[in-house]
Structure 1
Amino acid sequence: MALADAGLQPENLDLILFGAAVGRQPIPATAPLIKDLLGIRKEQVPAYDINATCLSALVAMDLANLHIGAGRAKHVLVVSSEISSRALPWDDDPATAGLFGDGAGALVLGPSVEPDRMRIRDFAMETWAEGYDFCTLGAGGTRFDLKTDRLAFEQNCMFRMDGHSLFRLSRKRLPHFIQRLLERSGWTVDDIDVVVPHQASPLALQHMIRRCGFHSDRVVNTIRDTGNLVAASLPITLHTAREDGRVQPGSKILMIGTSAGVSVAGMTLVG
């Protein structure tokens, strides 16, 4: 659907990026499988994964933009897919488990030569590493050894989140980050026509609107229908804004979100 919307065929792609918190498996990356399923046999089309948890798709968009700007690629496919339901802590933390959903999104980036296409203006990202343990899915990497400590491995196969600590850290840092990003773009809060936020939770969304001074009718809210789709959240919310007719030629768009780690990232675009 994304390729059709861009008027392209798989063979027109120069790079494939899969951006998600949890891919199909640790090794190999998921992007080569997507390339294979698309039937692309050209070896010069690299395919690899980007993991910035909830911000993976947005970071992949920035990386795609850098590749295009450097002349290394003309058309880049970004795919994000999350199946959160595989690792939700329903037994001991249903309040957290109930926030999440499953979903997938894809988009194509290319040279900004068509007037009816969105254009990236700026991107920024910060990491607040003191929140490293606020959101975790511990098993599946090198931290827990299935052979020597099977119990610890199994106990850490479920997602864990300290929502209160994450909320406090984001509440303190996010408004200033957004202000700096908008200043770099030469915009103010009142200039923004469409805010496309990561759908972390209903509470987080409402707090961001109040704390950052956004007009609530300009913020795209999908969480009550989809839940938190992790990395797929931002591309799906952007797609919803387009489908609803909220993105018009010349619209000033802000994509913004936080992720485990803890990181925050934002991108300004012009419709």
Structure 2
Amino acid sequence: MRYSKIVGLGHHVPETVITNDYLSTIIDTNDDWITERTGIKERRYADPTKDTVANMAAKATRMALERAKLTEKDIDFIVFATITPDYFFPGSGVLLQRELGLESIGALDIRNACSGFIYALSVADQFIKSGMYKTILVVGAEMQSTAIDMTTRGRNTAVIFADGAGAAILQPSEKQGILSTHLHSDGRFAEELYVRDPGSSRPREERQPDQILDTTHFKVVMNGNQVFKHAVVRFMEVINEALTANNMTKDQIDLLVPHQANLRISQYIQEKLALRDDQVYNNIMRYGNTTAASIPIAMSEAWGEGKIKENDLLCLAAFGSGFTWASALIRW
């Protein structure tokens, strides 16, 4: 049987560190309030005068290629997950292709927010298994700091979201690699975590740039209680779904890499699965919630720290806007 295998991981985070204490100087908040509710101590913000979603993704890609002992020319397809593309259109996939100096290869953009990387991984997995492509670049990258409502009104989201990029290189393998992926959504809760504009379903006069005076609807809206309530349920469901599909149990998981949404969610899942601290990888404390980038950044760091070893069983899980949720089970 033909499998797809991750042969390289890379990540990039901006240089600028934004601490909770700094945020407390511009928003009515403090370190204790943020830490208690999210587990976040600091995050990274990009410099929009030099950073873009595409060039951060390119830096993560080059690290992944170097680790895989490959070059840009080996890539024959790109799957790019982001909700903060550099332009309204085209998607950032083609901009990444340009950054890497590639010509004419396909680039697919995925907009599934926090679940985006696993959705992208699932797409790439199918392309590899079908034999359509040999080397696929899967990226999750976000620049959210430029769209955050940096006021007390928006503090529930301002303290959470941040910037960064992560990349994975997939190739075919005769040995087990990605065992299965599991994707779900429930659009009934779309407005519980969303950004309304710039959307197309508006009267023409509401979409004219010279008439847009109120930018409220360009900011993230999140019902934190609803998101938390659904997340803890869906995380468990989709992790168990992956294990059941492969006739495995939670005791066989060597490392769980959850989407870095909230440390309290990760700790809840860890408790329910009865996993040790060394079986769950969290870095939200340092980077905040980087949405589609959070899982590949965490995987890249974990691999670099020697916490992902050959033959380990990895479980990836995510929940976010849509609502969408997803999991992947991987034999390393």
Tell me the TM-score normalized by structure 2: 0.76
Residue 33 (structure 1) aligned with residue 95 (structure 2): yes
CA displacement 1:16-67 (0-9 Å, x = unmatched):
12111221112111111111121112x3x11121111111121111111111
Q: Following the alignment from structure 1 to structure 2, what is the Cα–Cα distance between the partners of residues 237 and 100?
A: 15
Question: Which structure 2 segments of 5+ residues have no match?
Answer: 1-62
User: Which residue of 1 is the match for residue 259 of structure 2?
Assistant: 198
SS in 2 for 1:93: helix
Matched, 1:13 2:75: yes
Aligned to 1:155: 216
1:174 CA drift (Å): 2.9
Per the alignment, in what secondary structure is the counterpart of residue 133 of structure 1?
A: helix
- What amino acid is aligned across from residue 35 of structure 1 in structure 2? Q
Is the partner of 1:33 in helix, strand or coil? helix
**What does residue 187 of structure 1 align with?**
248
Over the matched positions of the two proteins, sequence identity in percent amounts to 27
> Do the aligned residues in 2 keep the contact of 1:126 with 1:263 (CA within 8 Å)?
yes
Partner secondary structure for residue 166 of structure 1: helix
- Alignment partner for residue 175 of structure 1, among 220, 227, 236? 236
Q: Scaled by the length of structure 1, what TM-score is found? A: 0.92
- The equivalent of 1:54 in structure 2 is 114
Q: Deviations over 1:195-252 (max 9, x none)?
A: 0010001222222222343333310010001111110001001111101111111101
Structure 1 residue 14: Cα displacement:
1.2
Counterpart residue identity of residue 253, structure 1: L
Pick the aligned partner of 1:70 from 130, 134, 157.
130
1:130 match: 188
Q: Distance in 1 between matches of 2:294 and 2:281?
A: 11
Q: Match of 1:86?
A: 146
SS of match in other structure, 2:183? strand
Report deviation, 1:77.
0.8
Gap change, CA 1:184 and 1:64, over 3 Å in 2: same
RMSD: 1.8
The SS at the match of 2:138 is strand
Alpha-carbon deviation of 1:151?
A: 4.2
CA contact (8 A) 2:235 2:317 kept: no
Letter of the structure 2 residue corresponding to residue 131 of structure 1: F
Deviations 1:147-188 (A, max 9, x none): 286245x11111111110111122333323321221102211
